[in-house]
Amino acid sequence: MPFIYFGTNLALEECQIQFKNRHWNCKLFENNQLMGNILDSGTKESAYIHALTSAGIAYTITKACSTGRLSSCGCDMSMKDKTSNSSIRWAGCSDNVLFGSELARKFVNLRENKKKTQTSLLNLHNNQIGIRTILSSVDRQCKCYGISGSCEFKSCWRSLHSFTQIANQLKEFYDNSIQVYLQKNSIEKNIQFLPEKLPLQKVKNELIFLNSSPNYCELNLSVGSFGTKGRVCNRKSRAIDGCDLLCCNRGYQSQIMTVHSQCNCRFQWCCHIQCQDCITTQEISRCL
């Protein structure tokens, strides 16, 4: 199914946008080869990739249903002809989030269900966080009807948030992810991940990881780290995108350059992020 490929691509493109100013910038490939074993590393970066990919696949399948590009599904008709009051009518094509999420869940979990290792169990949990985020990322949208532009009547439908909003929410999960350990004597039955210093209930709704992240300051392709040498930094910033932090205190070099950069980025069907090419003259600083 092409929408699985499209959804994976959408997730990886958005991941690189979300983390462009971090030590780990979600660069996964070198010459079309996956570097390191980050997908099964059990780190918080792996957790984010699994959640975002699950969400990306669910998103593209859902949008394919709503736009008639997938013959096995259509719009969500569960709210059709229902009214919350006399001035609102559910009509139009609501995003079929339940169908898209369920099909995505079956696909992303297929690989993990075959393995049944500690890491695969971890990945299953984080996949589910991505699916739950999609399911909760639906808003009501309405079109007004009435005399002289009034909103006497509304025709409403349910629509997914933008994928960037969904990725932002998952990034918050990443920043608050919880390190866990596998409960002893539970390899065969009743496997549980337990947090180090938090209540068990907290784990159920958060991204979780087993292993600490490697040092992404330094080049180490075996663990999926490309280092930060040559990365563009902001010499005026004190935040994570600032040269001191992003360059890991190795220093930086600045020069005036004509820069082609992506701007005014928008999601395009199907299924990638399309940006305009903007040309500016800037002082560019790069990590040494």
Q: Residue 48: what pLDDT?
A: 98
**Cα 174 from Cα 251, distance rounded (Å):** 28
- Give all strands of the β-sheet with 178-182 in edge-to-edge order: 193-195, 178-182, 208-209
Residue 129, pLDDT above cutoff 90: yes
Q: What is the CATH number of domain 228-288?
A: 3.30.2460
Contact 278, 260 (CB under 8 A): yes
Q: What is the rounded average pLDDT of the residues 250-262? A: 90
Residue with tokens 């959408």: 10
Confidence of residue 186 (pLDDT cuts 50, 70, 90): very low
Residues spanned by CATH 3.30.2460 within the chain? 228-288
Residue with tokens 């009743």: 190
250 DSSP assignment: S
The pTM assigned to this predicted structure is: 0.87
Residue 190, pLDDT above cutoff 70: no
- pLDDT tens across 23-45, in order? 999 998 877 777 778 999 999 99
Contact 67, 267 (CB under 8 A): no
**Cα 41 from Cα 49, distance rounded (Å):** 11
Q: Residue 264: what pLDDT?
A: 86
Q: What is the rounded average pLDDT of the residues 104-127? A: 92
Q: What is the rounded average pLDDT of the residues 152-174? A: 94
**Cα 30 from Cα 50, distance rounded (Å):** 20
Nearest-CA neighbor of 52 among 140, 160, 172, 139? 172
Confidence of residue 145 (pLDDT cuts 50, 70, 90): confident
Name, in order, each residue with C-beta under 8 angstroms of 285's C-beta and a sequence gap of 6 or more. 232, 233, 234, 235, 243, 252, 253, 254
User: What percentage of the chain has pLDDT greater than the value 70?
Assistant: 91
242 DSSP assignment: B
Q: What is the rounded average pLDDT of the residues 161-174? A: 97
Q: Residue 163: what pLDDT?
A: 96
Q: Residue 187: what pLDDT?
A: 47
Q: Residue 200: what pLDDT?
A: 59
Q: Residue 117: what pLDDT?
A: 86
- pLDDT tens across 73-96, in order? 999 888 776 666 667 778 788 999
Contact 225, 218 (CB under 8 A): yes
Between the CA atoms of 173, 174, 179 and 185, what dihedral angle is there, to the nearest 10 degrees? 70
Contact 227, 217 (CB under 8 A): yes
How many CB atoms neighbour CB 134 within 10 A? 29
- pLDDT tens across 194-246, in order? 776 666 566 888 999 999 999 999 999 989 999 999 999 999 999 999 999 99
Residue 185, pLDDT above cutoff 60: no
Q: Residue 261: what pLDDT?
A: 81
**Cα 156 from Cα 277, distance rounded (Å):** 36
Least confident of 107-116, 130-139, 238-247: 107-116
Average pLDDT, the chain: 88
**Cα 84 from Cα 153, distance rounded (Å):** 12
Q: What's the distance, Cα to Cα, between the start and end of the chain in Å?
A: 43
**Cα 254 from Cα 277, distance rounded (Å):** 23
